[in-house]
Amino acid sequence: MAENENKDKGPVKPPEPNLKPKFNSNWIFAVLIVSFLAINLFYGGKATPKLQTRELKQMIANKEIERIVIVNKEYAEIYLRKEVVESEKYPDILKPNNGRMGFGVPKPHYTHNIGDLATFEAFLKDEQVSAGYGDKEMIYPETDTRHNYIGEILGWTLPFILLIFLWLFMMRRMAGGAGGGAGGIFSVGKSKAQIFDKESNVKINFNDVAGLEEAKTEVMEIVDFLKNPKKYTALGGKIPKGALLIGPPGTGKTLLAKAVAGEANVPFFSISGSDFVEMFVGVGASRVRDLFKQAKEKAPCIVFIDEIDAVGRARGKNVNFGSNDERENTLNQLLTEMDGFGTNMGVIILAATNRADILDRALLRAGRFDRQIHVELPELTEREAIFKVHLRPIKLEKGFDVTFLAKQTPGFSGADIANVCNEAALIAARKNKNIVERQDFLDAIDRIVGGLERKSKIISMGEKKTIAYHEAGHATVSWLLEHASPLVKVTIIPRGRALGAAWYLPEERQITTSEQLLDEMAYALGGRACELLMFGKISTGAVNDLEKVTKQAYAMVSYFGMSEKIGNISFYDSSGQSDYGFTKPYSEKTAELIDREVKQIIDESFERATSVLKSNVEGLTKLAELLLEKEVIFSEDLEKIFGRSKADLAREQREKAAGNKIQAAVENTGEVLSPEPAAPEAETPEAETPDPAAPDQPEEENTPSQ
């Protein structure tokens, strides 16, 4: 890329070294540990053994005691005679080198719990008299009062010290290790943006972003703005101040921003919109100010705000239902900072959201976000490129067809495709394979779209028959209608919440005609119609079908203007910021008319499905019985029963008519004319093997009554 030529010429300011010494709280813990060890060294050592009353009597009788000291009227310290110690009669006593406390204080050989002082003194006197002690031999106990000053001090101060340390710890955690300043309570208003510069090892570049060619072009141009600003300013142009990435979830908005961080040789600030929101008043606005302060210091640079809708939601909504002052203050500060830059300050704002409809209008105006880059779901060629990126680390079978996978995943986002590749590898590993095969990817698509197979689910024979005829009704109607989506397979194996499903491969089209919508509604109602036709009763299994059909019918009438009685009127609000908060944008009379039109459309679609099934009862029965036998059938099975699908035949007729028109023009004029464009139709995938691909989504979740 052209950008890489100037990779080492970016005007990045080197970070200034911070020579100010910083206090490390770990030193406090080190001092406490050393103090504890010193105290233990001077006053600790081997513990003094305790003496039982029986042993004390024996020592008095043998005249082995030199003196007795009563400490704090609680216990007695027993000191033996020197010759007794040297005789090693008592091996458990301390040796001379261990029998000393710190600072030259002698340590007793034994201790004895005295209980009551008067009772102990009487006991000593009686035992000595019994042993025949003379007046000069009598041992009179000494008394001593000792204070453990260190223990008393620690007893008073240690709880406060622990509380202080706990408070400091909580304040530092509350600050969240915020960058841009020293840690502690005072950093709570600092920006939490992660900074990527030339020293940061960002491994993602534009080569890792497959598809999104238009979006990449826009973003690469922004990077070039920062690298070669004179190229654009020399002609009188101004560097754009911001670009907003808009698109559904999983389409690669954040990945595109990461690629910018990897490609651009300028500082890159990354922060989430929710990081501005805090429980403290004024913290959000403070973090915005700090973020832009850091950005101005490191200009030229890029600031990326992910999920900006968390802080950029439209102001003034629901003012009577509680206050959002803190979020609005944060948004106001963001608007001020974005509009406060000089012409060529070199700070560009990138933001990503999938809720552009709820953003504040002031945020979207020119001068703040000058460009809005739409990141849409990938097309066929883009999906193929995305598959190639995610298949790099996967061991594939020889001759693996990536194009086939791209055709089987219409409507999949980049994140969905990454999930498919990962699931396929896991499935292959679960089967103890050395390589990942095509069937593993098909199983992965089935699992992602429909859920995990539940073959252990207990279903009665009557319910199974109902499910089989329900799915056979879907398949029959769709096979015999001209504008239906190509059928891939039909199954009555429970997956996820569905007890059965008819799987289709939706066409990739940009517009949809009313005929196509009506055909989709007809085969969606084919399951309910088949139940009523074959069993004379209906079940709850069509709840998902009815939901889909109802929404589709209301959209036809209220949004698409496909009703003659309503006319070319649309009540759809694409901005999402209409003033109709709690009222409908039409009268009650119009609402009643809309309801009647929706019911008429659904009833007519149901009658069409019933008519198709009545005309093909024999084929319907064969299909249902085959489904009960095999549990899973494919498009070639329907072709054996009903012949070629009507959609295939109609497509061939259109192609033949276009070819005849061209031939006639060549014969008459001798010139080759380009054919007129046919209606937007996608090619029906050929069923090469009994393992066709799973569709983008199951047509319905059939849940018969439980």
The tokens for 53 are: 């009353």
Phi-psi region at 631: left, alpha or beta (left = phi > 0; alpha = psi -120 to 50): left
In contact, 348 and 296? CB cutoff 8 Å: no
Tell me the C-alpha distance between 535 and 701, whole Å.
Answer: 20
Q: Which two tokens stand for residue 679?
A: 């209606």
Write down how long the chain is.
Answer: 706
Q: For residue 697, give Cα distances in angstroms to 407, 534, 635, 668, 694.
A: 13, 27, 17, 48, 8
Cα–Cα distance for residue pair 548/517, rounded to 1 Å: 11
Reduced to 3 states, what is the DSSP secondary structure of residue 85?
Answer: helix
471 given a catalytic annotation: yes
Query: With contact defined as beta carbons under 8 Å apart, do 512 and 492 qualify?
Result: no
Distance spanning both ends of the chain, measured CA to CA: 60
Alpha carbons 698 and 505: distance in angstroms, whole number: 9
SS3 409: coil
DSSP of 143-196, one letter per residue?
Answer: EE----HHHHHHHHHHHHHHHHHHHHHHHHHHHTT-SSS-SSGGGTTS--PEEE
Calpha distance 483→518 (Å, rounded) = 9
Taking residue 621's Cβ as centre, other Cβ atoms within 10 Å add up to 14
Q: Which two tokens stand for residue 6?
A: 């100037």
Query: Catalytic one among 471, 520, 597, 701?
Result: 471
Question: Which burial class, exposed, middle or buried, applies to 622 when counting CB atoms under 10 A from its CB (0-12, 13-18, 19+)?
Answer: middle
Find residue 78's DSSP bridge partners. Answer: 68, 110
Q: Are 348 and 393 spatial neighbours (Cβ–Cβ below 8 Å)?
A: no
In Å, how far are 153, 221, 573, 577, 693 from 581, measured between CA atoms?
67, 40, 12, 9, 44
CA pair distance 315, 333, nearest whole angstrom: 13
Please identify every residue annotated as catalytic. Answer: 471
